[in-house]
Structure 1
Amino acid sequence: MWATFVMTIKTNLRNRPALFWLIVFPLALATLFNGVLGGLKDGYELQALPLAVVEDANWSKSAGARTFIEALSGKTTQTTTDGGAGGTDMRIGASVTTLVRARYVDTQAQARSALADGSAKGYLRVDDDGGIMLTLSASAVESMSGSMASDSNGAITVGALNGAIDLYNRAGAAVRDLIAEHPQAAESRAFWASVGDVTGMTREVSLTNFAPNATARYFYALLAMACLMAMGYSISAVTSAQANLSALGIRRTVAPVSRPCQLIAGFLASWLCSAVSLTIALAYIRYVCDVPLGGREPLAVLAVAVASFMACAFGTMIGAIPGLRHSVKTGLTSAIPCALSLFSGLYGQLAMELSDWITRHTPILALANPAQQVTNLFYDILYYDDYRPFATTCGVLIAMSLVFLTAGVAMLKEQRHEHL
């Protein structure tokens, strides 16, 4: 059995097509993904928006507006303003993300000219009530809206900016209403110190174990496809032990080593080779392409071991199918992964949407798709705080493996030959 194990490993190492699909192909495709999708995650980051700021008479009356805009421009880190929108005491937190790249002008006409020549995407002004108003150019709105938006950074920045301006305006309106009903509040230092102090009202929390990554799903689907291609090793191990498929199978049939020992040794050798090959691809994706694994790299190696075990079990079942030539079974090594990867989201945005639709509306199909389950393994590692989703997916893949192995063993037991 040990000799069969070692010989199978040597045979696998000489199998150039298998080494190509398991090592070279994932590395090449990962490099391509990294080049094409490398800047995708940058489209989900806040970037300062070039805006014109109108310094007219209303602006001069609002002492807090300048401090507020300077804080959003990153020129101040912590400020207490007196007067704000209608006398508001606004406190800007100690760390403020830069949302505005301000360009000061004297009139709205100059601001509109800045929009026309493209030097600004919008402008800020103070209205008669002391509130700050944001106006965007038509071209900026068009580039930030719709499913094919070209300026996703701007859309995210505008959303954050609207929230900050809305908070400023609501604080000013609340102060005016309170002073109108309770004029004595204007004489209280505690009142002015508390107005606009929202530092304790909100806090940053993470809903996932790791920050979402826009490109990770493509790389995980690639790993799933490479994993399924690993079943070629176990297909070769099974077919080489069948007397009706090759001369080697005839010699192995009459060898003193029992057939179960040959198959077990071939399966373990195939599992080892596929796990090592996929670990190389995982290391390249993690450390060269910089695709995150949520700080759980050892768990990702375990995921590769479970996934490659399932792939070898799948290959054992295909290799045991009677009546198919070895060349046909080898062809299935590529056809099946390519077909199943369509439903795990490997082939672009439309494939991703199809995968999501299947998961939402027909979850049983997603559950039965080995490529989807392998992709889920790495998603469970990256995003879930708890290990239960990962353990559940591992359980699904192990259950698949048992089904595949049971079917393969059943088919192999029924095969008999009248003569060799």
Structure 2
Amino acid sequence: MKYTMLSTFRLKTTLFWTLAFPLLLATFMYMAFGNLFEKDEMFKTINVAVVESENDDALMSVLESLDVNHTDSASKSDDRDDRTNSFSDLINMKIMDDSAAQKELNNQKVTGIIYTEDASLVVDENSYNATILESILTQYKQQKDVFTNIAKTNPAALETAIAGLSDTTSEYKEISLSSGNQDEYTNYFYAVFAMSCLFASFSAVTATNRLLANTSPLGMRKSLVPASKNTLIFSEYISLLIIHFAVELIALVYMTLLGVDFGNKYPAIILTLFFGCMIGLSIGVIIGAIPKLTEGSKIGISVGIGMVLSVLADLCANGIKDMIEHRLPIANRLNPACLISDCFYSLNVYDSYDRFFRNISIMAVESVILLIIAFALLRREKYASI
């Protein structure tokens, strides 16, 4: 085992692909994505400039009820434990004159300008927030027309209509579906870990190849050792598992310090990395046991398998794994890269461990099956002469 560890550390190419490359890739991804989730997906209070005019009390009342700075007790509940309130934090209203509002809009400090005189909206560009502001004004105009018509046709019903509107004022209770990180860009970092674990197959291919007498001088010497081939394979496997597990822990610490949010279930995350290394090494052992192939060819097969499985786990484009899940879910159940990334996802999003342990169990079974097949292949190797 000591010799295997020392020889593995001398394989600079293997160390680069299993440690340096994933860390570099994660660094570049973090630099590229940064806080895109917060910018693109998460809702924030909308900054809006309001230009007042006379006789605009109705619209101003509506806007004030949506303003984050509005302190009306009817719209700001004192019971913050319930997290139940009206949409009183939807906008951040800034009252100013037209020239100041235009300057704020040009400097992109506000999403739009609302003119209360005719309930109109001016925006610099189309956006999700601009659509929200437009819908607020549209709803206001519709309700104003309804009340105007009621006042003209049936004034006695106006009070009832206004009371009905008050009763249907929307309130919401903020419920978190998950306490974890739901940033879709984090899926790329899950896939980086999956790729790194599968790249452990490179050193397993090299180690297995050194046990074959017809591929290396070291294999010739080891074939004369009075020990079963299964014992030799197992000792090599355990040594490589320790090394690559340590490598993945280093990568985990680095990415966490980098700022990637993997949640707080670190014991389960560490278990994921352990089984990820197991399946990666098992793939390498069975590829290394393929007879009549050079070591270079076997490494090439390992690279191809690792990259294809990682791409299917969202390494290059987010959404591929989800598409496969809807069309051919069994592929995701068998793909070790998908199982590794899904372990991270389930730990970060779900409170239950059911999905996590299902993935771990599948990886464990796949590892055992691959090792049994590899042991059978290697035991069959017989040499009439070398």
Q: What TM-score, normalized to structure 2?
A: 0.83
Q: 1:136 to 1:330 in 2, by over 3 A?
A: same
Cα deviation, residue 158, structure 1:
4.6
Aligned to 1:35: 31
Cα deviation, residue 196, structure 1:
6.8
Q: Partner letter of residue 79 of structure 1?
A: D
Check the 8 A contact 1:54/1:104 in 2, yes or no: yes
Cα deviation, residue 254, structure 1:
0.5
Aligned to 1:102: 94
Q: How far apart in 2 are the matches of 1:327 and 1:66?
A: 69
| 1:25 correspondence with 2:28 | no
Correspondence for 2:75 among 83, 91, 95 = 91
Correspondence for 2:372 among 391, 401, 406 = 406
Question: Where does 1:209-220 land on structure 2 (aligned, <5 Å)?
Answer: 209-220=179-190
Check the 8 A contact 1:52/1:114 in 2, yes or no: no
| 1:378 correspondence with 2:344 | yes
Question: Where does 1:217-232 land on structure 2 (aligned, <5 Å)?
Answer: 217-232=187-202
Aligned to 1:13: 9
| 1:280 correspondence with 2:250 | yes
Q: 1:272 to 1:112 in 2, by over 3 A?
A: closer
Aligned to 1:308: 277
Cα deviation, residue 91, structure 1:
2.3
Check the 8 A contact 2:191/2:310 in 1, yes or no: yes
Q: 1:180 to 1:388 in 2, by over 3 A?
A: farther
Correspondence for 1:257 among 195, 216, 227 = 227
Aligned to 1:64: 61
**Matched length:** 372
Cα deviation, residue 21, structure 1:
1.3
Q: Partner letter of residue 92 of structure 2?
A: V
Correspondence for 2:330 among 359, 364, 367 = 364
Aligned to 1:321: 290
Aligned to 2:84: none
19-28 or 399-408, which moves further after superposition?
399-408
RMSD over equivalenced CA pairs, Å: 3.5
Q: What are the Cα deviations for residues 338-375 of structure 1, in whole angstroms up to 9, with x where unaligned?
A: 2222211111xxx3233322221122222232222211
Check the 8 A contact 2:313/2:341 in 1, yes or no: yes
Check the 8 A contact 1:27/1:281 in 2, yes or no: yes
Cα deviation, residue 251, structure 1:
0.5
Check the 8 A contact 1:51/1:100 in 2, yes or no: yes
Q: 1:8 to 1:198 in 2, by over 3 A?
A: farther
Check the 8 A contact 2:4/2:239 in 1, yes or no: yes
Cα deviation, residue 281, structure 1:
0.9
Q: 1:127 to 1:389 in 2, by over 3 A?
A: farther
Check the 8 A contact 1:171/1:196 in 2, yes or no: no
Q: How far apart in 1 are the matches of 2:15 and 2:50?
A: 61
Q: How far apart in 2 are the matches of 1:28 and 1:217?
A: 17
Q: What are the Cα deviations for residues 263-312 of structure 1, in whole angstroms up to 9, with x where unaligned?
A: 11001111111111111112211x22222222111110000001111111
Q: What are the Cα deviations for residues 157-203 of structure 1, in whole angstroms up to 9, with x where unaligned?
A: 456657877898899999998994485999xxxx89x947969x421
Aligned to 2:72: 79
Unmatched tracts of structure 1, length 5 or more: 81-89, 145-154
Correspondence for 1:54 among 44, 51, 55 = 51
Aligned to 1:148: none
Q: How far apart in 1 are the matches of 2:355 and 2:285?
A: 27
Q: How far apart in 2 are the matches of 1:414 and 1:210?
A: 49
Cα deviation, residue 99, structure 1:
2.7
| 1:395 correspondence with 2:361 | yes
3-state DSSP of counterpart to 2:215 = coil
Check the 8 A contact 1:48/1:101 in 2, yes or no: no
Q: How far apart in 1 are the matches of 2:235 and 2:260?
A: 35
Q: How far apart in 2 are the matches of 1:370 and 1:184?
A: 63
3-state DSSP of counterpart to 2:261 = coil
Q: How far apart in 2 are the matches of 1:325 and 1:317?
A: 14
Identity of matched residues, %? 23
Aligned to 2:261: 292
Q: 1:196 to 1:171 in 2, by over 3 A?
A: farther
Cα deviation, residue 51, structure 1:
2.9
Check the 8 A contact 1:123/1:136 in 2, yes or no: yes
Q: What are the Cα deviations for residues 195-214 of structure 1, in whole angstroms up to 9, with x where unaligned?
A: 47969x42111222414113
Q: How far apart in 1 are the matches of 2:374 and 2:221?
A: 22
Q: Partner letter of residue 411 of structure 1?
A: L
163-172 or 322-331, which moves further after superposition?
163-172
Check the 8 A contact 1:59/1:126 in 2, yes or no: yes
3-state DSSP of counterpart to 1:135 = strand
Q: How far apart in 1 are the matches of 2:137 and 2:143?
A: 10
Aligned to 1:266: 236
Q: Partner letter of residue 235 of structure 1?
A: V
Q: What are the Cα deviations for residues 37-85 of structure 1, in whole angstroms up to 9, with x where unaligned?
A: 113122123345443323123314666246335xx2x433x314xxxxx
3-state DSSP of counterpart to 2:177 = coil
Check the 8 A contact 1:307/1:374 in 2, yes or no: yes
